[in-house]
Amino acid sequence: MVFICVHSATFAQGVENEAEISRLLASQILANEPLSTSRIIVSEVARETLVAAGMVGDRFKLDHTIVFESKIDGDEQVLTLGAIYQEETTRRLWLVIRAWYKVSATTIQVSRAEVFWNSPDVPEVQLRMVPRGAVSLSGQPVTSYAQSVVLINEILAQAINPADAAAILGDAALIFIDRIAFDAEVSLTISETAEGEAIRSLESTRLEATGWPILIVQGEQLGDGFLQVRYRAGSDRNPTSTARDVIAAYAIGNDQ
């Protein structure tokens, strides 16, 4: 029997390096000027790739990073991480960053990087009930950040406490907190239980076209039961199934 021993201090240092590199690279995407530390040096090639993600630093802030994988590729380490950003409206955006680097006695040198748009397995969706017709369904979907902020604030200002009787007669506004791919599929159904089979499909109006869907369902469609949000991931996650999974369900009608 062969035992392989990894020195705990070496392992801890590797994890610490990965966490530090992850934060620096994820922050670099938001920076107008090059970021560096005394230990980590990011090549200009890697920096240009990160900045090309095109995110606006005064709109987003880095929430946290997650290390997905660390492996060896020739004489370099390869780190794959998830970076989660949050904007003013508390909506989130997910990126995957892959970086190649070398560790010496005094420095960590990042030679190149790749950036991929991504979304979580189960995007968060929030429901707000609003008075019937309170949110305008006319016109084209909003296509800018400023317009989306106005729209969200309008919905939040009009929102009814779901426990109020008026909510039974209201429209349903569904707000995606996590950004999803443009080719992801979203549908809405009514069921008898939260995870149950769909009894019928609902028609909705999508009011937002920047990656965070905002869907309005007119109240006359709702009735009693559960409003289900069904979702199939887009090409950013390369889904293998054609099914739309239930990612959220809300009790509506007289039984709420």
Residue 139 pLDDT greater than 80, yes or no: no
Q: What angle do CA 179, 182, 29 make, to 5 degrees?
A: 50
Residue 12 pLDDT greater than 60, yes or no: no
Tell me the pLDDT band of 1, cut-offs 50, 70 and 90.
very low
Q: Contact at 8 Å (CB) between 178 and 213? A: no
Q: Contact at 8 Å (CB) between 184 and 247? A: no
What pLDDT does residue 11 have? 41
Least confident among 31-35, 53-57, 109-113, 133-137: 31-35
More confident residue, 188 or 253: 188
The structural domains of the chain, ordered by start, are: 8-118 (3.10.450), 125-255 (2.60.40)
- Using one digit for the tens of pLDDT, what is the confidence trace for 75-91? 999 999 999 999 888 89
- CA dist 254 and 252 (Å) reads 7
Mean of all residue pLDDT scores within the chain = 86
Tell me the pLDDT band of 9, cut-offs 50, 70 and 90.
very low
Helix (H, G, I), strand (E, B) or coil at 29: coil
